[in-house]
Amino acid sequence: MDFTARQIAGFLGGSLEGDSDAKVNGISRIEEGRAGTLSFLANPKYQVFVYDTKASVVLVNKTFTPQRPVRCTLIRVDDPYRSLAKLMTLIEKRPERTGIEVNAFVHEEATLEEGVYVGSFSYISRGARIGKNVKIFPQVYISEDVVIGDDTLIYSGARIHNNCIIGAHCVIHSGVVIGDDGFGFAPVTGSDFAKIPQIGNVVIEDDVEVGTNTTIDRATIGSTIIRRGVKLDNLIQVAHNVEIGENTVIAAQTGISGSTKIGRNCMIGGQVGIIGHITIADGTRIAAQSGIGSSVKGNAPAIQGSPAFEVIPYQRSYVLFKKLPELADRLARIEELLGREEPD
């Protein structure tokens, strides 16, 4: 379906510069822009492409000042990236499916509200309560007494174990496992371990998104809790009794050990390792591949490294670390010039 620049600007509340009748029917990256598509400029590093892009319409910031003539039509908005997300949500085509497909199993003691879709080979166990307009795609397993809130999407291959609770407007991607056993073993002898039963559950609040193949373990006692608005990338491990605060975002391959409490509005990069039984302050920013071995306190700190500490001292230290071989050679030459013997 075609949209004009005028229609897009009106929908976004942006100001228009150029051909208001320019039509687009797709989206492209600015460096690969094609005629008839819309693009955006959010990162200043890509500004060089705006002058020669073949995209018909480009979203730019209201403060953008061209250094030379621009061929495309511009729509000025407060935040081009958010505006693009708003447009993509509008045009995204989600299947409007309802009903229970052939070969799906729904236990007679499960409760399904209106507008629910259950795909083939999905299994909904006794006592499960499924809210309005929930979409459960093929090959999903939902165990006993699971509760799922309204308008939640659960994609193929997800597994949700007994007594877990998922809020409204959540997205659970393929391969996610929610509520499997936490890693709990007690040493019995020098080489033997006894399994500790994991009798808690997982509670996921509203507006949470969980990426493909992420695992969230049930609590040993009580609940593992993912608060409202949290966004988890693919391939994340959340251990038993972890709590993740509201609107925190975590990138892929991060591992969070048991009973750790992560605050609100945190940003955690990929491949971060976090030990158990610590607390991370609200607003903390953790760089990728960092190792967190103790509690993080303070007012929205930014940390990096393993073990992690404040990012600016870390980066200064790393500059010196890279120069250690050179510094060692210089020290050896100085000692040779001074006639000093190497220490024992």
- The residues annotated as belonging to the active site are 240
Neighbour order of strands in the sheet with 153-154: 99-100, 117-118, 135-136, 153-154, 171-172, 209-210, 231-232, 249-250, 267-268, 285-286, 302-305, 308-310
Query: How many Cα neighbours within 13 Å face the side chain of 273?
Result: 7
Rounded alpha-carbon distances, angstroms, from residue 219 to 134, 143, 150, 234, 264: 25, 16, 24, 21, 20
Name residue 154's amino acid: I
Contact 63, 9 (CB under 8 A): no
Question: Distance between CA atoms of 39 and 55, rounded to whole angstroms?
Answer: 6
